[in-house]
Structure 1
Amino acid sequence: MQKPSRRDAGTAAAAVSAEAPISLELDHASMSDIAHALAGGRVTATALVKAYLARIEDYDRDGPKLNAVRALNPDALAIAGKLDSTKPSAERPLAGIPILVKDNIATGDEQPTTAGSLALEGAHARADATIVKLLRHAGAVILGKANLTEFSNMLAIDMPHGYSSLGGQVKNPYAPALVDDHGFPLVTSGGSSAGSAVAVAAGLCAASIGTETSGSLLFPASQNGLVTVKPTVGLISRAGIVPIAHSQDTAGPMTRTVRDAAMLLNVLAAKDPLDPVTERQRRPVDFTAGLTRDAMKGVRIGVPSDPADPLNDCYYGKLRPDWIKLMTEAIEVLEDLGAVIVRASMPTLGWIGGPGTTMAVLNRNPLSEHKGTVARPPVVFIYELKRDLDLYLRDWATDTEIRSIADIVAFNEAHADRALRFGQDHFLAASMTRGDLSEREYKSARAMDLLSAKTRGMDAYMNQHKLDAVLFAGAMGASIAAKAGYPSVMVPGGLIAGTTDGKDTPDYPLGVTFAGRAWSEHMLLRLAYAYEQASDMRKPPPGWPGL
């Protein structure tokens, strides 16, 4: 692919008609604005791709080297050229819009699909993942693959967020130069969809697609000042996505605005015979309908924090003072918009988890401050990992001799100097399971996850207090919603600074999350939109000017 010059990119991005001049600043332009510019003929798909490639060259590959983009699509410019005469429409709403996808999402083209692993370097996929097919059908230009925490942060205990043995370390654009003694970012990019988030925050694409099992969309979106939707499990097909655990895995959009996230959900939410769980899907005709400032009126929002029950205040009771200040201000905005705030702690049985839902795994990570201690990962993750990953490698992976988790473990051990900087303790534990989910401990753990997080947790809490949504700071509520298979929508809440151990940092974002029952994405988007419009809390990272 020919590298565009800075001059070409700047000229292309400003290619507007004399009749309708606009200023399309790619570092923070919304996908909606880009679509309008394309529809009006004021910019072309080729111009956009060249402009984003120039930003990637200057900010991701050079300069601060954010390392968010693991690989570029060599066909991106050719695809864009074919779309230059196609305007966004109801049939092709994303026509000409450049989008990055996380590098655990299969593409049946020249782009490898690696999950950030050296073991899968050069591995391709037999076909596009279902969501990639949907993006292409809607006219999107797949710009490339975003870096991630290797195997979606399921390889090793205490692996830094945003690190992969193949792609290296993703940096947070709000503090890219700030590192600790080991060279790891003090202000993390979040994970595992680190590159997907950083690329959108730094203006390297119009939007991106990430994935989540528990927190992997919400955490990086919070750290990078973005909107994301962690959907109900079953709203979006997982076919062709390198898995962790089918009980909780899902994909979701990462965008700069709520409307953009709703636009992408319109494209991505479709039933798929390759993922039978989507057959129970429930969705509106249009996720962007009803996005108004008055959507908050009369809505009952639970804040799981009761000062009279401090021992059970796990979600707000131990927050840092700056987090508490930000959430207090967010709640005031919600009240001003007409929401009814209900303060009550989550049922203890909901957040503690049932017996047998975690398992002991020895931490051998040589760089972990907890080396030699026992970690407690979810049983469901460890057991489903082997079965689900082996199926992906069998059914989707090509151009690789890796066919099982056992092959990955063996490869990593043979290339330990490059592949095992942080060990592979989770993979070692998973490789000891049968791989067919027949074990009683797995079945019990899955049942207890649903009983605790869903029946005795979110359902009991929302039923008791007649709630429409539950409000969390950042990704604090990711686990309970993910175990239940329930949706969460995050929107920027403001800026904070500093680390948990008292180190000074530049300001960086913290998100506000609205969580709810299954298939409530449309309502949660409406609430997030009302808050977004009233608060206007997204602040792009400083120091990333347009080229």
Structure 2
Amino acid sequence: MCLLRSALLAAASLTALPAQGQSVADYLARIAQVDDSGPTLNAVLAVNPDAAKDEAAASKAGGPLAGKALLIKDNIEMAGPLSTTAGSLALKDSVTGRDAPLVARLRKAGAVILGKTNLSEWANIRSSSSSSGWSAVGGQTKNPHALDRTPCGSSSGSGAAIAAGLAWAAIGTETDGSITCPASVSGIVGFKPTVGMVSRTHVVPISHSQDTAGPMTRSVADAALLMNALAGRDPADSATAEADKRKTDFTAGLATASLKGVRLGVMRKQAGSHPALLALFDKALADLKAAGAELVEISFEPAEQMGRDEFAVLLYELREDMGTYLRSLPAKAGPKSLADLIAFNKAHPEELRWFGQDVFEQAEATTDKAAYEAARANSLKLAGADGIDKLLKDNRVSFLIAPTEGPAWPIDLVLGDHFVGVGAGTLAAIAGYPHLTVPMGAVEGLPIGLSFMGAKWDDARTLAAGAAYERARTAAVPVPGFKRWGE
């Protein structure tokens, strides 16, 4: 009887998420409880041994994020003893000794970097049949809502960690869906800002056209608070040239933001066909309408060339940008090009056990600059000027909304991911426009997010719209059960 009571108490402590603003010691205990043992989420790759010391200094110095414990995705560099691996054994010893500018900005605001999160290796650009959340360094990240189902990716560990209460917030990165998908299936808030709002220097790249870092949190208000610290110009990143004049106080007016009279473009065709998901979307639409929003039905079909040309851009920029990054690393030894990474993987079969590197190999062979430039111009036009911009203007709406992604699918290391084609986030990814996902409920206990996509540099208003919906939402948001689905 005592053993049974003990087991019940342990289970209750797992599902009762810690209050926000816990100490470093509290979060480390939580990581030990659910990430290193128990459900063994594999969300946290490494803990910062200086976190407690940093907490004391940050609390004393003050700042808008004073003492708040953050986890950062392990493709973002931080000064100290931790490697920045991108999940690959090729970089397992890559201790650069430098803070990415975004990390320096967080520290200046008083944040404490608790550690690094697992991710889909190389931000899910190595293979066309990968399993989101798997890396050779960290293994397979699990979804705390259903341990046998995907955490999505590539910011898999960041999403799972915040859903499980392992930190106050996390930083993810996105090229196309890598913040918003894991946030959606983990039942948290994820924000992909306008590309150029946040520095990408000392972040392992895929594409300078589409890459950005962004917050993953338990509320829109927390995401906005993080954006206050993250946003700003970096002289080493030309994309951020306008950031200082475009940034604002992202938290201003958030608590009273209203949807009254706000016209929202409803992307029905991007909601899929699952009856339970459609019913949940309808409930969210009813909540938005009750909050005063005007709903405008939009019919949109993306041009086939958009995705084709996006992929061509990612292949070309991956080879170029990855080589530039690897050659910037302080260590003389180690890979210096994408070709070196391909050779490393071939020499280390543990890297290729579950899936190959066909995308790496395609990227290495993609060298036609003129074709790349044409593909970038066309994909940007289709997603931006002829995509989001045109939809907003023609329908006189402020934002586009749709479910972010479908329910989390089973983890399948043998066959890879099973994306279901729900959502329209690729438009915002290619165009480089803001994309916010806010929990809107669940299908069979599996979280679903609602996407808000706005115009370029309209980040603050996008966050405000999400905050207003967050207050108006009537659907229950699930709490992680730390069990396999259906148990």
* Cα separation, partners in 2 of 1:86 and 1:538, compared to 1, 3 Å: farther
Alignment match, 2:411: none
Q: Deviations over 1:129-150 (max 9, x none)?
A: 1101001111111111000000
Q: Deviations over 1:241-293 (max 9, x none)?
A: 10111100000000000100000000000111011111122435310111145
Whose Rg is larger?
1
Q: Who is 1:198 aligned against?
A: 160
Question: Displacement of 1:451 after TM fit?
Answer: 1.6
Normalised by the size of structure 2, how large is the TM-score?
A: 0.89
* Alignment counterpart, residue 168 of structure 1, candidates 97, 114, 139: 139
Paired residue type of 1:285: T
Matched letter for residue 303 of structure 2 = I
Select the residue among 371, 381, 404 that pairs with 1:474: 404
Flag the 1:420–1:394 CA change in 2: closer, same or farther, 3 A: farther
Aligned partner (choices 289, 303, 308) of residue 358 of structure 1: 308
Answer yes or no: is the 8 Å Cα contact 2:262–2:293 preserved in 1: yes
Question: Shift in Å at residue 543 of structure 1?
Answer: 5.3
Q: Is the partner of 2:196 in helix, strand or coil?
A: coil
CA contact (8 A) 2:65 2:110 kept: yes
Whether 2:335 is the aligned partner of 1:384: answer: no
The alpha-carbon deviation at position 84 of structure 1 amounts to 4.3
Q: Equivalents in 2 of 1:289, 1:540: separation in Å?
A: 29
Contact 1:215 1:479 in 2 (8 A): yes
Match of 2:287 in 1: 333
C-alpha deviation, 1:209, in angstroms:
0.1
Instruction: Please report how far the alpha carbon of residue 118 of structure 1 lies from its aligned counterpart in structure 2 after TM superposition.
Output: 1.1
Q: What's 2:435 paired with?
A: 488
CA distance in 2, matches of 1:441, 1:84: 52
Residue of structure 1 aligned with 2:456, choices 512, 518, 523: 518
Q: Structure 1 regions of 5+ residues with no counterpart?
A: 1-24, 35-46, 179-186, 306-312, 360-376, 498-506
Aligned to 2:85: 114
Match of 2:266 among 291, 300, 303: 303
Please, which of 381, 385, 392 is the counterpart of residue 462 of structure 1? 392
* Per-residue CA distance 1:188-241 (angstroms, 9 max, x = gap): 101000000111000001100000000000000000111111111101111111
Counterpart of 1:73 in structure 2 is 48
Matched with 1:541 is 480
Task: Report the 3-state secondary structure (helix = DSSP H, G, I; strand = E; otherwise coil) of the residue aligned with 1:115.
Answer: coil
Change (3 A) 1:289 1:275: same
Cα displacement (A) at 1:399? 6.8
Taking a change above 3 Å as real, the CA distance of residues 294 and 209 of structure 1, as seen in their structure-2 partners, is closer
User: Which residue of structure 2 aligns with residue 56 of structure 1?
Assistant: 31
Contact 2:118 2:157 in 1 (8 A): yes
> Cα–Cα, structure 1 residues 143 and 399, in superposed 2: closer, same or farther, change >3 Å?
farther
| Counterpart residue number, 1:363 | none
The answer on whether the counterparts of 1:28 and 1:201 sit within 8 Å (CA) in structure 2 is no
Q: What corresponds to 2:216 in structure 1?
A: 254
SS at match of 1:265: helix
Aligned length: 450
Give the secondary-structure state (helix, strand or coil) at the position aligned to 1:378: helix
Letter in 2 for 1:398: A
Cα root mean square deviation, aligned: 1.9
Question: Residue 508 of structure 1: CA displacement?
Answer: 1.6
| Distance of 1:128 and 1:84 partners within structure 2 | 20
1:409 aligns with 2:399: no
Q: Aligned ranges for residues 147-296 of structure 1 at < 5 Å?
A: 147-176=118-147, 178=148, 187-281=149-243, 282-293=245-256, 295-296=258-259
Which residue does 1:530 correspond to in 2?
Answer: 468
**Which one is further off, 320-329 or 289-298?**
289-298
Q: Deviations over 1:35-89 (max 9, x none)?
A: xxxxxxxxxxxx71111111111110111100000111121122123334344xx
Q: Could you tell me how far apart the structure 1 residues matched to 2:319 and 2:372 are?
A: 12
Q: How does 1:5-20 map to 2 (within 5 A)?
A: none
- Equivalent residue letter for 1:526: A
Task: Indicate if the aligned counterparts of 2:90 and 2:334 stay in contact, CA closer than 8 A.
Answer: no
User: Which runs of at least 4 in structure 1 moved beyond 6 Å after TM superposition?
Assistant: none
Match of 2:19 in 1: 29
CA distance 1:418–1:449, shift in 2 (3 Å): closer
| C-alpha distance in structure 2 between counterparts of 1:352 and 1:489, whole Å | 23
- Tell me the amino acid that sits aligned with residue 354 of structure 1: Q
Superposition deviation, residue 126 in structure 1? 4.5
Q: Name the SS of the counterpart of 2:176 in structure 1.
A: coil
Alignment CA distance shift 1:278-1:402 (3 Å): same
Contact 1:86–1:96 (CA under 8 A) maintained in structure 2:
no
What SS is found at the alignment partner of 1:330? helix
Percent identity between matched residues is 42
Q: C-alpha offsets along residues 319-374 of structure 1, whole Å, 9 cap, x if unaligned?
A: 3111101110000001001111000212x4xx12437x628xxxxxxxxxxxxxxx
Q: Deviations over 1:376-432 (max 9, x none)?
A: x71111110010011111113537411111111111101123444311111111112
2: CA distance between counterparts of 1:122 and 1:150? 15
Q: Give 1:539 deviation, angstroms.
A: 3.0
Judge conservation of contact 2:81–2:97 (CA < 8 Å) in 1. Answer: no
CA contact (8 A) 2:248 2:460 kept: no
> In 2 relative to 1, CA 398–541 (structure 1 residues): closer, same or farther, beyond 3 Å?
same
Letter in 1 for 2:23: L
Q: Is the 8 A contact 1:201 1:226 kept in 2?
A: yes
**Runs (5+) with no aligned partner, structure 2:** 1-14, 406-422
**Which one-letter code corresponds to 1:517 in the other structure?**
A
Cα distance, 1:295 vs structure 2: 1.4
- Native 8 Å contact 1:296 1:338 kept in 2: yes
Distance, in Å, in 2 between the alignment partners of 1:218 and 1:496 is 18
**How far apart are residue 441 of structure 1 and its match?**
1.5
The residue number in structure 1 matching 2:354 is 421
Amino acid at match of 2:311: P
The reply on whether 1:93 has 2:64 as its aligned counterpart is yes
The corresponding residue for 1:183 is none
Name the structure 1 match of 2:420.
none
Residue 298 of structure 2 is aligned with which of 319, 336, 344?
344
Rounded Cα–Cα distance in structure 1 between residues aligned with 2:352 and 2:29: 31
Query: Is the Cα–Cα contact under 8 Å of residues 303 and 343 in structure 1 kept in the other structure?
Result: yes
1: CA distance, partners of 2:46 / 2:292: 46
Deviation at 1:489, TM superposition (A): 1.0
The answer to whether the 8 Å contact 2:142/2:160 transfers is yes
Mean alpha-carbon deviation: is it higher for 158-167 or for 400-409?
400-409
Partners of 2:118 and 2:141 within 8 A in 1: yes
CA distance in 1, matches of 2:44, 2:455: 34
1:446 alignment partner in structure 2: 376
Change (3 A) 1:421 1:134: same
